[in-house]
Amino acid sequence: MNKTGVWVSPTEFVSFAETQRRPSLKQHIATRGRAQPSDFSRHLPNPDPILKAQGNDIAIYRDLRSSALVGGNIRRRKAAVLSLERGLQREHTARHVERFITDWLTDLDLDRIIRELLDAPLFGYQPIELLWQPVGRYWVPQDLLGKPAEWFFYDKDNALRFRAKDAGPDGEPCDPQRFIVARQDATYANPYGFPDLSMCFWPATFMKGGLKFWVQFTEKYGSPWVIGQHPRGATDSETELLLDSLEAMVQDAVAAIPDDASVQIIEAAGKAGSADVYRQLLEYCRSEINVAMLGQNQTTEKDTNHASATAGAEVTQDIRDGDAAIVATALNACIRHVVDLNFGPHVVAPRYALWQQEEIDKSLAQRDKALTESGVRFTDAYWKRTYNLQDGDLQQAPIQGDKLAFAETTQQRAPDQAALDQAIDSLPSEPLKQLTENLANLMFMADTWGRLSATADRED
């Protein structure tokens, strides 16, 4: 039987039929359809264990924000990112493309957009809809709107779908040019990402329950006990009347009782130890929520000092930088769409970044110092752009030749200077060229070091 194929070596023949059965290098081999029995639904459930146990969607996490502790920590998380410096980094982008993106971003309410993007660490994922509009011959999003995450789900191909009521259980596929998704720690197994509020659900629930029982405990044991004594032969109606009088006494401190009855007030002593059980539960829940949201548990409890209490109100740097990276990734995806649509997919797009100014300035200064010491010469435009200098901040050093010519015209050269010039003129051309280059490098290094030192002095 003849087979069509090709000899890949003198001893190995591969038929075309065998080649066709091999999957393409661009195709997935391990897929959900091959790994488990497939059903007729395209819905991929959110694997969050809290949501699975509750049989609900991430809308239950929104209720946690009404808690003073959780809501306050959310504000701290977002404020930590909003306090960072932010803007475009041109890199290798064409100047007209950078100006176009800068002008477009200026028209957006970036503070609101960043706040909405920062819901992604809280809920795991945050879909953003792009509302496009024409501007001349270009198209740009006039706004980026965060939509409720529970309106969307992922299918078994990890594609985002909208729960449109007229699209049935399979939902409606989302156009990648109309939607971008900010996600935290998303993977192939879990495209929904990891929600930080899932770590706060049970502590917040127990804290709410513990507070309820603590209030009941306070109501029961925080006030003195009022005990009434009535004669042994009193009827039930007389007993009920005495109880009503005692209840009125607790509320109004005034009561009317029969003359043959007595009232005794007993302090609720010895119950403080029982109240500590509820206090410890509440403090534990507070600590767990602070660790989940802020990365530390230095709170304003009785065992902390002023320094630790101040640190406890701050978000740790790694969590802040992780939140900032989520925002930057989403905005850069949107910028990529704008550049692709208006300038082409092969045009380099500027990169949006968030940073803490002191850290970046220090690292840049150290790098620029090393480069200038190795002979690199930066332009004035670089110094202004990198260190936020103004036009009058840089003073151009005069050329050495001009200074010598000016000196010679104003006064006659000293004898020592004349002897030095004569010695230099008598040098061969090659040593003279090398000496000139060395002097120029030394002058440039001194000038650069002076600029960096002046910039550092102004910052200090």
pLDDT value at residue 445: 76
pLDDT value at residue 168: 83
What is the average pLDDT across 205-222?
65
Label residue 119 by pLDDT band (50, 70, 90). very high
Q: Are 378 and 455 found together in one domain?
A: yes
pLDDT value at residue 407: 46
Q: Are 62 and 164 found together in one domain?
A: yes
pLDDT value at residue 56: 83
pLDDT value at residue 408: 47
| Nearest residue to 69 (alpha-carbon basis) of 293, 240, 255 | 293
Q: Are 237 and 137 found together in one domain?
A: no
Domain boundary among 160, 177, 195: 195
pLDDT value at residue 347: 94
Concatenated DSSP letters of 338-392: HHHHHH-TTSPPPEEEEE-HHHHHHHHHHHHHHHHHTT----HHHHHHHHT--GG
Q: Are 290 and 206 found together in one domain?
A: yes
Q: Are 137 and 224 found together in one domain?
A: no
pLDDT value at residue 232: 64
Residue 447 pLDDT > 90, yes or no?
Answer: no
User: Residue 50 to residues 57, 61, 62, 123, 361: CA-CA distances in angstroms?
Assistant: 9, 10, 14, 12, 43
Domain that holds residue 23: 5-35
Q: Decide if 107 contacts 113 (C-beta within 8 A).
A: no
Would residue 324 count as lying in a domain?
A: no
What is the average pLDDT across 363-380?
82
pLDDT above 90 covers a percentage of the chain that reads 35
pLDDT value at residue 413: 55
Would residue 378 count as lying in a domain?
A: yes
Q: Are 189 and 205 found together in one domain?
A: no
Reading the block at residue 218, the tokens are 């306070």
pLDDT value at residue 2: 55
Q: Are 243 and 301 found together in one domain?
A: yes
pTM (two decimals): 0.65
Q: Are 80 and 207 found together in one domain?
A: no
Q: Are 17 and 78 found together in one domain?
A: no
User: Residue 147 to residues 57, 104, 130, 176, 217: CA-CA distances in angstroms?
Assistant: 15, 22, 11, 15, 43
Q: Are 157 and 238 found together in one domain?
A: no
Number of domains in the chain: 4
Average pLDDT, the chain: 78
pLDDT in tens, 18-30: 545 566 677 777 7
pLDDT in tens, 253-276: 555 556 556 655 555 555 555 667
Residue 431 pLDDT > 60, yes or no?
Answer: yes
Would residue 186 count as lying in a domain?
A: yes
Q: Scanning the structure block, which residue is given the tokens 């200038």?
A: 372
159 Cβ partners below 8 Å, 6+ apart?
Answer: 173, 174
Q: Are 259 and 394 found together in one domain?
A: no
Residue 198 pLDDT > 70, yes or no?
Answer: yes
How many other β-carbons are positioned within 10 Å of the β-carbon of residue 40? 6
